Structure 1
């Protein structure tokens, strides 16, 4: 009998947490014993694992003093070790740098798998204590993993060429699995709120994710401001939450651009797919990504995508290989890839001037809004685009 421990940072609706939930649901259906460990559990967590959930702390890092946080860093691997021993865990899977690092120092003998979900040479560019630890761990503690999963070829290449990852033989590329049938089912559930239902009777561009320097949603807002006057019924909807400083900047930017009546913040949603399904476009304006789950989810919901070229992994998700370049845009079977926004600094911009990349992003949005052929192209290629993310195949590959 396999006894599996899934280790994740939080219980929000971020990509890694939704991924962990997919694993949990699938392994449970295989009659494995599955426990889900959140490093931090908060009262407003969207994702829950019921009686199979364990937490190391119910106090967020932002509420800890520096000494408390340091003490927690030292205690966490020992707490994980105790959980693994008490539950006789045979396999553990950790999601992201924090979970990977703590798991690597538990010094337990189960089949131990780490997973890496973003371009680390970009993500770790800002100096912080934990970023420094993460860089060191790539040359030291990752030795203790049996397998280190990269969710795209681009991430694997980045770790080797730009991050000095010392254990190349442990790196395996496995795409994120998705329960496509469940996404489709959830996407067809009607929206309850009358106000939200009316909102989505308009042409909606939707952003789904955390407000962060990584996601840089200000690029989307500025691109939206360039086209909103051409489309009377066009709205921009944000689903998610995150860094309060980023959100505050977004609100100020919206006021400055005089588009407050067309931009809406709905907060986190336990079922974002019912909103995604009703949208015209999913927009992703990130500085960097790994292979963002939301693109696969958008394809499953039959909604075209406009994404910045935030990683080579974007092409792996959005295209079957038939790409056409028009001006600065790459047209794929599922939408458009626009030039990368990243300029070497992860921070709120110093000024609000419209950049050439934001104009390109706006042009891609305009093309999809103006012609139904892009949605028809997605529908024609949907099954083949989704074939590489089969839940059964991917979850088995993690345990092999």
Structure 2
């Protein structure tokens, strides 16, 4: 019998965590023994791997930000050792790691199970921020990743980026597998009603929705500024954020709301156990990221029938949103699931020093207004939905993760 271990940093409601939970449910339903280890377990966790109370484990219940420098160093050095003991104790046959930190720790356990790592973002852009950990992660691409049996890239663009721009040494271990989704479950959850009266009132207006971490990667200030231009023509529209994240980024975003007098038009709902009913009742899902892989939320939006507007932060975006091969976006391009607008990334990661409006923010605004103006985009998505989602079948993808590269 396969005994599977899932490794991830947190239990929040991000894309990697939802992916891990989808795998957990599928493997459990198919009779496998499955355990999950969160490096950090918090009271605010949304994702829980508790089948009869004995499938979820953690290495710390104190967040990295709450640890002293010495505590963090001790945690990083001890984590692979503790994981190795757990793998041997539970007789794990397959492990799946989600993201750079989990991949690195897995590669340093020196255990004998079939090890799968996964890359979920365009790393050359992320590595533009030359932090200590990014330096370590990039070095591991040439060293410890040799201990992984397979490294899953969730888009073709990510694989190309690793090879061409990140000096990834073990090319033979790379395999492109798109993220799986249980669309039956997503659609069941999307049909549940919103029950909070205040939220019902909010969703009686036209809605632009953001789902994800409020962080540097997602660069929500671009979306705020684009929405400011939307309000000039559609003043009843609301921009709703579902998720939490970096307090510095959130504080900066709130300062923009004050500057542009938008406090009544932009609502932060925080984390939600079920974001899908909010997604289904929205007019458009919006992303303004500086870099991505293949964002799960785009596929989920397609699954529930809500059009998407996203900046062209990676070709992985158009792998999800379009039925044709698009390699360049200089102006707004209409695709099967919505509109792709030009890339907003200008080479620097971090809160911007200037608040001058970018031409790309104006393109993003025009794309949002186009979708808000007509139901044509929703009808077009309905027409192409099945063709767009068929490569994300949960059973096919979950089984591929456990198979050696051919």
TM range (shorter): over 0.9
- 1:384 maps to 2:381: no
2:337 to 334, 337, 355: 334
Q: Which residue of 1 aligns with 2:399?
A: 396
Matches within 5 A, 1:17-96: 17-50=17-50, 51=53, 52-96=55-99
| Distance in structure 1 (CA, Å) of the matches to 2:183 and 2:108 | 35
| 2:109 alignment counterpart | 106
Classify the secondary structure of the residue corresponding to 1:24: helix
Q: 1:322 to 1:2 in 2, by over 3 A?
A: closer
> In the alignment, which of 279, 291, 299 is matched to residue 276 of structure 1?
279
Contact between 2:319 and 2:325, CA under 8 Å: does it hold in 1? no
Aligned length: 400
Deviation of residue 149 (structure 1)?
0.3
CA distance in 2, matches of 1:217, 1:326: 20
Rounded to whole Å, the distance in 2 between the matches of 1:98 and 1:327 is: 34
Distance change >3 Å, CA 21–CA 166, structure 1 → 2: same
Tell me which residue corresponds to 1:2.
Answer: 2
Helix, strand or coil for the counterpart of 1:376? helix
Quote the Cα distance in structure 2 between the aligned partners of 1:37 and 1:194.
37
Alignment match, 2:212: 209
The alpha-carbon deviation at position 233 of structure 1 amounts to 2.2
Q: 1:69 to 1:382 in 2, by over 3 A?
A: same
Deviation at 1:323?
Answer: 7.0
- Given the two structures, how large is their TM-score scaled by the length of structure 2? 0.97
The change in CA–CA distance for 1:255 and 1:78 in structure 2 (over 3 A counts) is: same
Call closer, same or farther: CA 1:194–1:49 in 2, change over 3 Å: same
Query: 2:178 and 2:45 mapped to 1: Cα distance?
Result: 26
TM-score (norm 1): 0.98
Q: Where does the alignment leave 5 or more consecutive residues of structure 1 unmatched?
A: none
Among 215, 221, 244, which residue is 2:247 paired with? 244
State the alpha-carbon separation in 2 of the partners of residues 175 and 326 from structure 1: 22
- Aligned equivalent of 1:14: 14
In the TM superposition, what is the alpha-carbon distance from 1:381 to its structure 2 partner?
0.3
| 1:271 shift after superposition | 0.3
| Equivalent pair of 1:323/1:333 in contact (CA under 8 Å) | no
| Residues 3-43 of structure 1 deviation map (CA, whole Å, 9 limit, x = unaligned) | 00000110000100000000000000001000011011111
What is the distance in 2 between the residues matched to 1:186 and 1:80? 34
CA distance in 2, matches of 1:275, 1:305: 14
Q: Distance in 1 between matches of 2:171 and 2:293?
A: 18
Structure 1 residues 54-79: Cα deviation after superposition (integer angstroms, max 9, x where no partner): 10111111111111111111100001
Runs of 4+ in 1 over 2 A off after TM superposition: 322-327
- Residue deviations 1:307-353 (CA, integer Å, cap 9, x gap): 00010111100011187999711110000111111111111111211
Alignment partners' CA distance in 1, 2:329 and 2:236: 27
Deviations 1:136-190 (A, max 9, x none): 1000000001100000000000000000000000000000001111110000000
Matched, 1:155 2:158: yes
Query: What is residue 97 of structure 1 aligned with on the other side?
Result: 100
- The one-character-per-residue Cα deviations of 1:343-377 (angstroms, maximum 9, x if unpaired) are 11111111211110000000000111112111100
Report the Cα distance in structure 1 between the residues aligned to 2:14 and 2:306, rounded to whole angstroms.
Answer: 19
Distance, in Å, in 1 between the alignment partners of 2:356 and 2:346 is 14
Any idea what SS the aligned residue of 2:232 has? helix
Where do residues 291-330 of structure 1 align in structure 2 (5 Å cutoff)? 291-321=294-324, 328-330=331-333
Contact 1:40–1:57 (Cα < 8 Å) also in 2:
yes
Unmatched runs of 5 consecutive residues or more in structure 2: none
